[in-house]
Structure 1
């Protein structure tokens, strides 16, 4: 575990893994695994966890980082949206989750200061995250593709040219953590 200062946290959206309620037991398993992994990074000097504010892994991860701040006060949470008004089309419940995450964050901004217009905004956002983090922690399994696949490909290409840590938590990892409960 190297001394990363900034880590980008991403992974499945809640609907991609069949989570449609906050009471779903999968959330507790995911949060437990994220907490253990982020804690290891924090013990090795991690200062920032960045997310993009997506429903699912990213917002659950924001809650985990907030909990870890009790033991690691130097740990910060940054939410970097791909564009202005991100999440504004979500239903009220999901907008409330996003609002809560923004309140937990130490820093909130967007890479594009305009509402969504074109896929370039998403590509620029990905590039920004790669250039401003030393690695990524993602709950993602290549056997179960999802939207995170675009980031995975970009991170793999980036890591061929620059030192960049790609730490994937797979479905097997989650399954194994359930068995160790």
Structure 2
């Protein structure tokens, strides 16, 4: 796999309202654990749309990995221009700090937000331009990742396309591993 799309829940869908919430450490640890074997196997590009939550946390993980794997690249391809226009200042600064370090930036639609079809077009673009999907998504908690997941499942029926999910069970395992490490056993 050379190109991977990473996505998942927005922070509010997980009950997270600050980018430095303690849960974020576990989410990033789960992303790292999933990504490392892919990187060691030759992953070259990670694609995100730059949405708040899992995608920007994944970008931060990529930046950490780039110290050890300088050939790993991050592309931020937004669904439309100025997606951050309605975000608060803190979120805009976070987003802009990711854009400043991204290796490639573009937009699927060369206009501002118009209608939900721009999100569907973005999902289609990401599926067709990547070899696989890493998605923080749990079937028991529907939310925005559901649409990308369903599209990926359909696409996978006719194409070689990997889908790796990080579920709430996976996150719980990471929490337990980290607590075990902290316990000094």
Q: Same fold (TM over 0.5)?
A: yes
TM tier relative to shorter chain: over 0.9
Q: Spell out, residue by residue over 1:147-178, the C-alpha distance to the aligned partner (whole angstroms, 9 max, x if none).
A: 11111111111111111111000000000111
Q: TM-score, normalised by structure 1?
A: 0.96
Corresponding position of 1:5: 2
In structure 1, the gaps of 5 or more residues are none
Let me know the Cα RMSD of the aligned residues: 0.8
**Aligned residue runs from structure 1 range 108-119, under 5 A:** 108-119=105-116
Corresponding position of 2:21: 24
Q: Which of these residues, 85, 88, 92, is aligned with residue 91 of structure 1?
A: 88
**C-alpha distance in 1, partners of 2:20/2:42?**
33
Shift of 1:120: 2.2
Q: Does 1:135 align with 2:117?
A: no
Corresponding position of 1:107: 104
Corresponding position of 1:160: 157
Number of matched residues? 178
Deviant stretches of 4+, over 4 Å:
none
Q: TM-score, normalised by structure 2?
A: 0.94
SS in 2 for 1:8: strand
Partners of 1:7 and 1:137 within 8 A in 2: yes
118-127 or 41-50, larger mean C-alpha shift: 118-127
Corresponding position of 1:171: 168
Q: Spell out, residue by residue over 1:5-27, the C-alpha distance to the aligned partner (whole angstroms, 9 max, x if none).
A: 00000001001101112331100
**C-alpha distance in 2, partners of 1:69/1:33?**
17
